[in-house]
Amino acid sequence: MSSPVSYDDDQSLLSRPIVRFGLIWGVWTIVTLFFSTQAYIARDPRRPMSYTQGLLSQASACYLWAIATPLVLWLARRYRIERHNWVRRSLLHLLLSLGLVSVILVVNYPIFASILGWPITWYLLFRFFYVNLDQWLLIYWVILFMSHAFNYYNNYRKGELKASELRTQLVQSQLEALKMQVHPHFLFNTLHSISAMLSKDTEGARKMIVRLGDFLRLTLENSGSMEVTLQQEIEFLNGYLEIERIRFQDRLTTDIRVDPEVLDVRVPNLILQPLVENAMRHAVGNSKAGRVEVVAAPQNGVVRIEVKDNGPGIQADGVLDVRRGRGLGLANTQARLFGLYGDAATFKLSNGPSGGLVVTLEIPREPDK
């Protein structure tokens, strides 16, 4: 059994010029056969007309339209009618349709008249022009609206695919976070720290257990959301860092500074934890006193978030050390960011003034924020 043709296969097929050419001429051939039959059946008894004459006369018009159809489709794409410009663009297409239809009518009349044996006069040209103008204008606008309908459907399907890809990326990020949570070393070190505290600081051990439970709960709480508020993202991050501070004790220092103005701004779910985990691993792994900073503040209509560490940063040749997985986590974060916001988002890597890596995210704020 053959597999069904996918949406991408349809798009690839229609992108071939020979396929588009064949489709246009095929449609207009069907229209020619339909109208030639109608013309033959409804012919004027006072003006005998053979089926061949009816076929050729209709073909002369339809194939002129077949030639003009790519131009109409190009005009539809070039001057797309949108909500913000529909009046101006509609008037433009009215003028364009009048001009194109007039040219086609003037070209078609002598061919049409020759096939039917009519005299070619200015009066008959005017009559032919007047009788057919409204119908041929309708043809232009039907092609125009079909182009728009296909474009909207195409954008809708692209939006569905984009949403599906983002959901997949979100699930992958959640799975990575969950994998990190149940990672044997992570749980072993956390439970070992709790065990060590039981004999020295019972209250501290109890808090540690509570924080571990809170951390797992927060991870799953917004599992179906593409975006969460920055405040929710910071709460999750704090839960993660509280556990990691127990693991590394004096070897890890963290500093999170968030402007209250941007706490309600929506950001991608689980966007910061992989960046901070990356920064923390490299900072602690390359220094006796690892330091990780997260700074978020408004700037020119966006939320600027910086994740800084005191690790090795970018090498002299401009390449990240990907041997320990750093490049993969950053690439995934960048893909999610641009998948949600496109060119409105910014993702940048740089070395800090005193060393270490600085990951900078700029996320667009909602208009009402």
Question: Is the torsion defined by CA of 222, 224, 230, 236 positive or negative?
Answer: positive
Q: Is the pLDDT of residue 306 over 90?
A: yes
319 touches 357 (CB < 8 A)? no
Which residues partner with 266 through β-bridges? Answer: 229
- Give the N- to C-terminal CA distance of the chain in Å, as an integer: 54
Two tokens at 51? 């089926």
191-205 pLDDT, tens digit each? 777 787 777 777 767
- Is residue 337 exposed (0-12), middle (13-18) or buried (19+ Cβ within 10 Å)? buried
Helix axes 17-41, 7-14, angle to 10 degrees: 80
Mean model confidence pLDDT for the chain: 79
Residue 264, pLDDT > 70, answer yes
* C-alpha dihedral sign at 203, 204, 207, 208: negative
Give the chain's domains with CATH numbers: 7-160 (no CATH), 182-364 (3.30.565.10)
How many other C-beta atoms lie within 10 A of the C-beta of residue 107? 15
Calculate what percentage of the chain has a pLDDT beyond 90.
21
| 328 has pLDDT over 60 | no
What are the DSSP E strand ranges found in the chain? 227-229, 252-258, 266-268, 290-299, 302-309, 346-351, 357-364
Statement: residue 271 has pLDDT above 60: yes
Cβ-count burial 242-279 (b if 16+ within 10 Å, e if not): bbbbbbbeeebebeeebeeebeebbbbbbbbbbbbbbb
Nearest to 334 by CA among 277, 282, 268: 268
- At 38, which helix (H) or strand (E)? helix 17-41
What pLDDT does residue 322 have?
A: 40
* DSSP designation for 6: P
Which pLDDT value is given to residue 179? 47
Residue 17: is its pLDDT beyond 80?
no
- Confidence check: pLDDT of 262 > 60: yes
| pLDDT tier for residue 261 given thresholds of 50, 70 and 90 | very high
Q: Name which of 21-25, 163-167, 181-185, 220-224 the model is least confident about.
A: 181-185
Q: Tens of pLDDT along 106-159?
A: 999 898 888 888 888 888 888 888 888 888 899 999 999 988 888 888 888 877
Q: Give pLDDT, residue 156.
A: 80
Residues 101, 248: Cα–Cα separation, whole Å: 77
316 pLDDT higher than 70: no
Residue type, 178: L
pLDDT for 186: 56
Task: Please check whether residue 359 is in contact with residue 307, taking contact to mean a CB–CB distance below 8 angstroms.
Answer: yes
Closest CA to 245 of 237, 255, 253, 235: 253
pLDDT band of residue 182 (cuts 50, 70, 90) is: very low
Read off the pLDDT of residues 245-259 as tens digits, 9 standing for 90 and up: 776 777 888 899 999
The rounded radius of gyration (Å) of the Cα atoms in the chain is: 33
Q: How many CA atoms lie within 13 A of 55 on its CB side?
A: 6
What integer pLDDT is reported at residue 222 of this predicted model? 63
Is the confidence at residue 210, as pLDDT, over 90? no
The per-residue pLDDT for 324 is 43
Residue 4 DSSP label = P
Whether pLDDT at 98 is above 90:
yes
